[in-house]
Amino acid sequence: HKGMGITARGAWESVRRHFLELGIDPQTTDITVVGVGDMSGDVFGNGMLLSEHIRLVAAFDHRHIFVDPTPDAETSFAERTRMFALPYSSWADYDAALISAGGGVFPRSAKSIAVTPEMRAALGLGDAEHLTPTELIKAILKAPVDLFWNGGIGTYIKASDEQHGEVGDRANDAVRVDGAELRCRVVGEGGNLGASQRGRIEAAQRGIGINTDAIDNSGGVDSSDYEVNIKILLGSLVADGRMTGRQRDELLRSMTDEVAASVLRTNYEQNVLLSNARHLGGAMLGSHERLMSWLEEHRGLDRALEALPSAAEMERRAKDGRGLTSPEFSVLVAYAKMALKDALLASSVPDDPWLEGELAAYFPAPLRGFAEALRGHPLRREIIANRIANSVVNRGGITFAHRAMEESGAGLAEVAKAFVIAREVFDLSGFVGAVERLDGKVPTALQCRLYVEFRRLLDRTVRYLLARRPQAAGIGAEIGNYHDDVQRLSGAIAGLYDEAGLARFDRRAEAFADAGPEVAARVAGLLDGVAFLGVVDLARRTGDAPELVARGYLHLAEVIGLDGLLDMLARLSGEGRWDAVAKSALRQDVYRLALGLTADALSLSDEEDAAERVRLWAARHAAALAGLRATFGDLQGESAGLGQMWVLVRDLGLLTGSPE
């Protein structure tokens, strides 16, 4: 893969995301770097050419130690490019005239290396005048730089409480450092096993941006998978006489860039997922604990083996307000995706005809026309299941499927199917594209808030689909049922509110103003859009136009104080499984009752103005509405529990049917 540089490019996606979280774009701002490897290596060589703003301060491989204390980004980039093009090279080939004052290239066989003042400043060294090569390498690993780029072989980081013998890399025992000793801001793991898992966690707990090697360097494995799957497809076309061997080879070569783009897309999406998980921090800790318990019981997860915190440690973190770290999330991502993929393969979901589009989307554009050959691909179901599992976890979040299963009683495959329907109906890809275009323009914290708003929409829509349509039609039919109406309503939502609703919408948009007017307006209407599936169903039952029903629903929502009710529900404390199930059930009850009340209100007259019908209904139910508002008023400012919320929802239920 050296020509594609795919492993390095994939790992660079991780590096860039970590830096964006720090408010730095390494494509436009100089960063200082130390690393393991040399310019002849695939991962190190390609990696150190991925930004013209890399200032490589020091690096080492098995032969040499390279130190350039105050490098010029432009000059050193050009020299690294020259070396990368050589058939074989080592740090000894670096033009000594281009190395900054006080630096040099030193053989690892040297007895002692003189420490210059410039080296001392760049590497944050003590007073020593001379260091052995081993001591200098340890100093490089602990250097106060922006990035540590591991493009070599060997495990260089462990945890403070780990013995070197536990790491299983005797060759590097003398140079290995602890995660707690690192002074870099970000670690990029282009190589395999560059750190022990406990070493990674220790570094992450001290605020260093680090994932796992499995996340960072997945590009190489991914591109190999693509190669195999594409060759299987092309092999069947050659066997059928649809193309010659030469045509196959030419086609394969022509698709390299498209395959690379797909692989990098996977790296990018996983990094956005981890970025969101890091940002949410301890807020989801209860869900993470429940997911781990479920994985232990049903998927053979061994927390100790995976260096994941015990239940007792999770309790301690909850008390301290500390969430999981990125290396820990990285492990959970893999388990969550595998559980989903296996559940999908054990179900009939991958056989749904609509998902042939997912299969085609996996392959480069020149192959998508071979529909019959695609359908006959022996790994068709696996490819589809993999794509859906990735989509659910990357976009819904690590605990999305498990929480939906826990709260609805549906199986993982049913949850995934409902997710695909919700994703398409609400045009997730359009929203995500708009948020991605903000990379480097707004803080990642704002992007995370935007993603979380859409996740809440997906969360609630999936619950609606699972609760109301257990024997649902095929995916395509379900999308067809809702897509056009929901898109029309979502696009016109600002015009459907009454005055109070519009003011609320504007306040929400204002909170996201930095994302730009279009994204802010879209996100401001997301949670009200949760009801649009129910609105469309109701419109079908009553024969009313969806716009009329939506306007009636949104006006009625203001009358009954729906937004405040849902906010109160969202703030409910309780981390246990049954708290989560009860909270979800109450929320579904609230939406169901609100839609039922909308139906009642709209049935009162033939007025063309939905607002007038709602006013008429409110006048008839004045006493019950006053009771609801009184209960609501009593609970404002209180930390409401499930009991109080149950009373509120019961009072809402009293409004259904005939007035007192």
Q: What average pLDDT does range 104-129 have in this prediction?
A: 97
Q: Which range (317-321, 510-514, 649-653) has the least confidence? A: 649-653
Phi, psi of 108 (to 5 degrees): -70, -10
Query: What integer pLDDT is reported at residue 471 of this predicted model?
Result: 59
Nearest to 549 by CA among 559, 561, 534: 534
Evaluate if residue 659 carries a pLDDT over 60: no
Q: What is the SS3 assignment for 182? A: coil
pLDDT bucket at 522, cuts 50 / 70 / 90: very high
Query: What integer pLDDT is reported at residue 633 of this predicted model?
Result: 84
Nearest to 269 by CA among 438, 392, 150: 392
Query: What integer pLDDT is reported at residue 660 of this predicted model?
Result: 47
Helix (H) or strand (E) holding 264: helix 256-280
Query: What integer pLDDT is reported at residue 639 of this predicted model?
Result: 67
Q: How far are the Cα atoms of 271, 437, 452, 619 from residue 515, in angstroms, in the given order? A: 20, 10, 14, 41
Q: How far are the Cα atoms of 70, 393, 409, 456, 567 from residue 570, in angstroms, in the given order? A: 52, 22, 21, 11, 5
Phi, psi of 109 (to 5 degrees): -85, -5
pLDDT tens figures, 380-432: 999 999 999 999 999 999 999 999 999 999 999 999 999 999 999 999 999 99
Share of the chain above pLDDT 70, in %: 98
Ranges of each domain in the chain: 6-216, 534-660
CB 56 within 8 A of CB 77: no
- Measured from the Cβ of residue 304, the count of other Cβ atoms closer than 10 Å reads 7
pLDDT tens figures, 37-50: 999 999 999 999 99
Evaluate if residue 458 carries a pLDDT over 80: yes
Query: What integer pLDDT is reported at residue 472 of this predicted model?
Result: 64
pLDDT bucket at 651, cuts 50 / 70 / 90: confident
Look at 580 and 162; give whichever has higher pLDDT: 162
Look at 1 and 447; give whichever has higher pLDDT: 447
Architecture in CATH of 6-216:
3-Layer(aba) Sandwich (3.40)
Q: What average pLDDT does range 200-214 have in this prediction?
A: 98
- Measured from the Cβ of residue 611, the count of other Cβ atoms closer than 10 Å reads 16
Q: Is the pTM of this model over 0.75?
A: yes
- Per-residue DSSP letter, 88: S
Query: What integer pLDDT is reported at residue 576 of this predicted model?
Result: 77
CA atoms within 13 A on the CB side of 225: 14
Q: Highest mean pLDDT range out of 222-231, 565-574, 605-614?
A: 222-231
Query: What integer pLDDT is reported at residue 469 of this predicted model?
Result: 65
**Reduced 3-state DSSP string for 29-82:** CCEEEEEECCCCCHHHHHHCCCCCCEEEEEEECCCEEEECCCCCHHHHHHHHHH
Query: What integer pLDDT is reported at residue 657 of this predicted model?
Result: 67
Q: Work out the mean pLDDT of the chain and round it to a whole number.
A: 94
Share of the chain above pLDDT 90, in %: 87
CB 65 within 8 A of CB 106: yes
Q: What average pLDDT does range 305-322 have in this prediction?
A: 95
Evaluate if residue 584 carries a pLDDT over 90: no
- Per-residue DSSP letter, 376: T
Name the token pair of 265: 């897309």
Q: Which range (109-118, 176-185, 216-225) has the least confidence? A: 216-225
